[in-house]
Structure 1
Amino acid sequence: MTYKRRRDYQEWELAAGHSENTRTDRFELLARAEHDIGELTRATESKITKWLANPDWSTATRATYWGHLHSYLVWALKAGMIDKDPMINLPRPKVPKRSPRPASLEAYERIMAAGEQRWQIAVTLARYAGLRASEIARAQREDIDDRQIRVRGKGGRVDVLPTHAEVWKLVAPAPPGQLVLAKSGQAYKPAGISHAFGVYARDLGLPRPLGLHMFRHLYGTRLLMDKDIGGAGANLRITQELMRHASPATTAVYTQVTDEERRRAILAL
């Protein structure tokens, strides 16, 4: 992608109102695709199809990548750079109905026992504060004290959450700046931190798939779970606020009703 083409597309994305995070993720993906496929305005349907058929990607990942590629190629078509959209016959991958996928407590404990501080902090921010991977990548020591966490979210949004003792125990001695850095000392991009954690989890021999976001699922699940079976006993409205969702319907996707909770509900009738 030439500098001018990149600049023009960035301006179009900005004019369309897409957030900085969306634009960043999109351009990272386009650069990766162009590295694998070649110049995207010359890519054929068969090359794109083969690239999107990567067996290591989930359907949701393929759907996201399809969307990024399609947006760019539609823009290129409208701008007169290509005569035909090579994805016109390639339908968007159908993502199954979402269901909660919380990480296990055993996985959390193994990561904590492994002793690599950056990943201890990362999974603890997800497990005890519900931070997304992109928010963990942006988290700085200055954002957290013993009372509150300033969460740097999408589009420049900042939320404030209470600090759990487990978070503070790990973060308090950390130096100023980014809390989770690559081995090179550089800050992670959102996609980069997710990939790096996946590699780390596989190297530990943890069950696949295991992503940072699954510890956020664990956070939501444990918030709603009854106190006498190990949860916080929070109601859906409180959980919605703590997970920073606009709708409780979204929160419900991140939570998992246990067999024990189902049994208790039936016996209480």
Structure 2
Amino acid sequence: MSTEQILAMWRMWQEAQGLSDRTIHERASTVGRLLAFSGVEALGLMPMHILAYCARPGLSGASRATYHESIRAYCAWLVKAELRTDNPALKTPSPKRVKSQPRPVQDAHVSDLVARANRARTQTYILFAALAGLRVHEIAKLHGRDFQGDILTVTGKGGKTAQMPLHPILVEEAFHYPSNEYWFHSYTGEAEHVSAHAVSKAIRDTMRRAGFVGKPHQLRHWYGTTLLAEGADLRIVQTLMRHESPATTAIYTRVDVSQQRSAMARLCLPGSDTIPPLAA
């Protein structure tokens, strides 16, 4: 059985699981790169191949962990499908996933980005990232049927669907787009809608024109941190950001030094207002 046939079988398995196309594609890409890197066929993976791939210099901790998760899923499937009797991923360590802190763009940058957009669709990308917290792959596939008045239905990470109210600016923005088709058609015509990469590139290019280097996801970070800073309840922000756990949302709570000093000023030593001097 060829590598292509085996990967096609794995794809069918994941589709039967109900996994999202994005998850399936990302897993397949990771395993495909691993096999090419290792110079082996689909059934020839050894622990040393996985170790070498995940230990490559320059990878972030998050990337190592994500790649290893995809590889573990593939190897576990090989055993379940009775294509192998052993699971080579079990003989490798799981990379530690370091929790990263949010890095929101500055308030001034948000308005600069809207002003610097060179196309109407790019401006809409930016607005939905900043005022709805959408990820680039969610923006890319916006469709008229996703909107019912001021309610947006969005299918995000892991194929999970949620409904959320829209900011008034976004309700107004929706009037400029079709109600029965994808909003952002591919420029090449090779797909029904623009790719997530194209959305990301458009926003990153606009960031450069605005005089700073950043990533589109920082607009989502701005969305979460600003909601919390303006006093929105943590649980409400969790639902708006579509996080499974409030602990994930909690990292978006920004605490600056002045707030820390203010808190420390309230700290009193019990039983005494002064500390008696002692000889050295």
Please classify the TM superposition score into its range, dividing by the shorter chain length: 0.7 to 0.9
Q: Partner letter of residue 206 of structure 1? A: F
Q: CA deviation at 1:72?
A: 0.8
For the pair 1:218 / 2:208, whether they are aligned, the reply is no
Q: CA deviation at 1:248?
A: 2.3
- Give the root-mean-square deviation of aligned CA atoms: 3.7
Which consecutive residues of structure 2, in runs of 5 or more, have no partner in the other structure? 268-280
Q: CA deviation at 1:3?
A: 4.8
Structure 1 residues 25 and 264: alpha-carbon distance in aligned structure 2, compared to 1, 3 A threshold: same
For the pair 1:153 / 2:151, whether they are aligned, the reply is no
Q: Partner letter of residue 111 of structure 1? A: L
In the other structure, the counterpart of 1:167 is 170
In the other structure, the counterpart of 1:229 is none
Q: TM-score, normalised by structure 2?
A: 0.71
Match for residue 67 of structure 1 among 62, 69, 76:
69
Q: CA deviation at 1:129?
A: 0.9
Deviations 1:173-225 (A, max 9, x none): 234533345543433566x4686468647865733xx3333222211110011
Native 8 Å contact 2:126 2:203 kept in 1: no
Q: CA deviation at 1:120?
A: 2.8
Q: CA deviation at 1:110?
A: 4.3
Deviations 1:139-158 (A, max 9, x none): 22442366232222356544
Deviations 1:121-147 (A, max 9, x none): 223212111223332233224423662
Q: TM-score, normalised by structure 1?
A: 0.74
Q: CA deviation at 1:19?
A: 4.9
Native 8 Å contact 2:105 2:218 kept in 1: yes
Matches within 5 A, 1:66-105: 66-82=68-84, 85-105=87-107
In the other structure, the counterpart of 2:182 is 178
In the other structure, the counterpart of 1:244 is 242
Equivalents in 2 of 1:14, 1:165: separation in Å?
Answer: 37
Equivalents in 2 of 1:109, 1:156: separation in Å?
Answer: 31
Q: CA deviation at 1:64?
A: 0.8
Q: How many residues align?
A: 260
Structure 1 residues 264 and 146: alpha-carbon distance in aligned structure 2, compared to 1, 3 A threshold: farther
Native 8 Å contact 2:150 2:166 kept in 1: yes
- Percent of matched pairs sharing the same residue: 32
For the pair 1:233 / 2:231, whether they are aligned, the reply is yes
Native 8 Å contact 2:103 2:218 kept in 1: yes
Equivalents in 1 of 2:182, 2:263: separation in Å?
Answer: 44
More deviation, 110-119/125-134: 110-119
SS at 1:151's partner residue?
Answer: strand
